[in-house]
Amino acid sequence: MFRNQYDNDASTWSPQGRIHQIEYAMEAVKQGSAVVGLRSDDFAVLVAVKRSPGELASYQKKIFRTDDHMGIAIAGLTSDARVLSNFMRNEAMRSRTLYDRPLPVFRIANTLSEKAQTNTQEYGRRPYGVGLLIIGYDETGPHLYEFSPSANVLEYFAMSIGSRSQSARTYLERRFDTFPQASLDDLIEHGLRALRDTLAQDKSLDTLNCSIAYVGKDTDFTLLDGEAVAPYLARLESDGGDGTGAASLGSDSVAPMETEA
């Protein structure tokens, strides 16, 4: 990537009003495998596709539990995600120890944003090279937040980040109006369909490369890996694979997959 005198640190603005180090960190998020988050009136769901660095390596974990009522999915640098997930766990534990209550989801999202903002203002620091989708359930209902390296935190009904995530967002944008009344199983199926659109033509979702997590009313954060995701993948295939097998999924055709450069 072309370098110039304005991209040496995160505290220098370019004449065009850009901070290049933040933009570089956001590019790291686009290099990570895709994750999808969506929520209904009662549940919030994360689905992620995992990558393996090589044929002899295991698949990298993409979804992490941070408390009984909250968890995250990551896209970008795993080492940076580990730092942030540990920070979130400590904040959640602190809330339960001092106040004997689970930490509200909006509170941890704002606290995380303040922590990341410091890295975009002080010389000698760098932005975190990871994006997060945060789901949780508190007294106000289910929530889905996106955290980006720029320290922006936004709440969504549905969102996808990572490589080729625009295809997933296209699917979600076409169907998000059906999400509020969707059941948990239908919500997961929507997430898997959106996630599948991010894959290359020769790839498919299976029990090795797919993770699912959900949280909701009277339901603690639950992470499904391996054979536990098989029933959801089987339902995905039994519905015909085009979004027309179940009435709750709508009748629009699935958005075409992006082609890699």
Give residue 248's pLDDT: 37
Q: Which residue has the higher pLDDT, 252 or 63?
A: 63
The rounded distance, in Å, linking the Cα atoms of 255 and 74 is 24
Q: Is residue 129 part of a domain?
A: yes
What is the dihedral angle through the alpha carbons of 233, 234, 235, 239, rounded to the nearest 10 degrees?
110
Q: Report CA-CA distances (Å) from 41 to 33, 137, 216, 251.
A: 28, 11, 9, 22
Q: Is residue 66 part of a domain?
A: yes
Give residue 240's pLDDT: 58
Q: Which residue has the higher pLDDT, 261 or 134?
A: 134
pLDDT value at 247 more than 80? no
Residue 46 lies in domain: 20-244
Backbone angles phi, psi at 206, to 5 degrees: -145, 180
Q: Is residue 252 part of a domain?
A: no
Q: Is residue 256 part of a domain?
A: no
Phi-psi region of 28 (alpha: psi -120 to 50; beta: other; left: phi over 0): alpha
Place of tokens 């709440």: 155
Q: Is residue 7 part of a domain?
A: no
**Which amino acid, one-letter code, is at 101?**
R
Give residue 151's pLDDT: 94
Using alpha carbons, select from 106, 135, 131 the residue that is nearest to residue 46: 135
- Domains: count for the chain: 1
Q: Is residue 13 part of a domain?
A: no
pLDDT digits (tens, 9 = 90+) for 170-221: 999 999 999 999 999 999 999 999 999 999 888 899 999 999 999 999 999 9
pTM recorded for the entire structure: 0.87
Q: Is residue 258 part of a domain?
A: no
At 188, list the tokens. 């997961």
Q: Please, how many CA atoms are within 13 Å of residue 146, restricted to the half-sphere of its CB?
A: 20
Cβ-based neighbours of 219, under 8 Å, separated by 6 or more:
43, 137
Secondary structure, 3-state, 193-246: HHHHCCCCCCCCCCCCCEEEEEEECCEEEEEECHHHHHHHHHHHHHCCCCCCCC
CB 142 within 8 A of CB 39: yes
pLDDT digits (tens, 9 = 90+) for 123-164: 888 899 999 999 999 999 999 999 999 999 999 999 999 999
Give residue 251's pLDDT: 34
Q: Is residue 208 part of a domain?
A: yes
Give residue 53's pLDDT: 82
The CATH code of the domain that includes 229 is 3.60.20.10
Percent of the chain scoring above 70 in pLDDT = 90
Give residue 2's pLDDT: 55
Secondary structure, 3-state, 101-127: CCCCHHHHHHHHHHHHHHHCCCCCCCC
Q: Report CA-CA distances (Å) from 21 to 112, 129, 154, 183.
A: 19, 10, 21, 41
